[in-house]
Amino acid sequence: MYAIAIHGGAGAVPRATLSAEREQRCRRGLEAALDGGYAVLERGGSSLDAVATAVRILEDDAVFNAGRGAALTREGAAELDAAIMDGRQLRAGAVASVRHVRNPVELARRVMEKSRHVLLVGAGAEEFALEEKFTLVPNLYFRTAERLEQLEFAQRGERVSDLVPPAPQGTVGAVARDAGGNLAAATSTGGLTNKRPGRVGDSPIIGAGTYAKNGVCAVSATGHGEYFIRAVAAHHVCTAVEYRGLTLQQAVHELLHGILRALGGDGGLIAVDRDGQVVMEFSTEGMFRGARDSRGRREVAIY
């Protein structure tokens, strides 16, 4: 039994404003990432490779808020965060506030595998990227006309979703269980449109936006990051399963509709448990998501 689930962000995606053409683009992007990650599992690859592959595909797709096409800071730059976690030995790596790394999830993985650290930020993270022979790209690589337009609307204080084809808010991520029972999670994001430079959300924070522990679950979150940090969201789901014996579905439901709602935050998350059961839930209007497993499930959905 193996399974993968992905998300491309949660948020206000009013049906009326999502054009058929754009919806098609989002669905195609999700399918490509889902199948890319699934192919790794099918070949007997690890859940870690599967989530890294799926997230890299989403990062390269300009329609999603991660890697190319990331949301822009108030100064018009892309500032990227990512994390990856291997549930086997609770190994983890993360980067935050990087501006010139094409695939932040790959740098996060390199932090996990080649450094003594878990989290590197800013210029220090890019220095590490160079030491690891990554080729840096100009910040302009990430910027798309759509994101610039979104930033301009946000700065004029107008409601973004009324005027611009809505892009997924938030984040991209993946969780997987491989045939060996190993769990992994990865998350990558450009963060909030018009954010203050230096702002870091939940994505690169182990336990908040990303967590994986073999025998329990793997989680990747998307939504209003500040609330997910305070709720220690991803780890909360895992402790609810591990300490209280809740099902993954119950744990996710309690987090999103109980704890986060009480704090005033919304969003969504995807999770997979040790048996390969996938949960994809959100408290927003929609969440771009997909799941595929070796029992024949294959679905992509938005609402």
Partner 1 sequence: MSRPKLPALPCLLLLVAAATRIYPAAADARPIVIVIHGGAGVIEPARMTPAKEASYRAGLAAALDAGYTVLERGGTSLDAVTAAVRTMEDDPQFNAGRGAVLNDQGDAELDAAIMDGNGPHSGAVASVLHVKNPIELARLVMEKSRYVLLVGEGAEEFALEQGVALVPRSYFRTEAREREFEETRHAEWAPRNASTGAGRGVQPNSMDTVGAVALDRAGNLSAATSTGGLSTNKHRGRVGDTPLIGAGTYADNQSCAVSGTGQGEYFIRGVVAYDVCALVQYRHLELAQAVREVIHEKLRRAGGEGGVIALDPAGNLAMDFNSVGMFRGARDSRGRREIAMYRDNAKP
Rg (CA), the chain: 17
Task: Give whichever of 17 and 139 is closer to partner 1, judged by the CB atom.
Answer: 139
47-60 and 20-42 helices, crossing angle to 10°: 150
- The smaller minimum CB distance to partner 1, of residues 116 and 295, is found at 116
34 versus 92: smaller Cβ distance to partner 1: 92
Q: 171 catalytic, yes or no?
A: yes
Kindly state the smallest distance separating residue 226's Cβ from partner 1, in Å.
5
Smallest separation (angstroms) from partner 1 to the CB of 291: 26
* Amino acid symbol at 235: H
Cα–Cα distance measured from residue 91 to residue 213, given in angstroms and rounded to the nearest whole number? 9
What spatial distance separates the first Cα and last Cα of the chain, rounded to whole Å? 27
What is the binding site for partner 1 (CB under 8 A)? 85, 89-93, 96-97, 111-113, 115-128, 195-201, 205-208, 211, 225-226, 229-230, 232, 235-236, 239-240, 243-244, 263
Count of all residues that appear for the chain in the document = 303
CB of 237 to partner 1, least distance (A): 11
- Tokens standing for residue 17: 């404003």
Residue 73 Cβ, how far from partner 1 at the closest point, in Å?
8
Give CA–CA dist 182/213, Å, rounded: 8
Three-state secondary structure call for residue 19? coil
Residue nearer to partner 1 on the CB measure, 73 or 283: 73
Catalytic-role residue among 17, 135, 144, 171: 171
Rounded-to-integer distance, Cα 303 and Cα 289, Å = 9
- 172 close to 201: Cβ distance less than 8 angstroms: no
The residues annotated with a catalytic role in the active site are 171
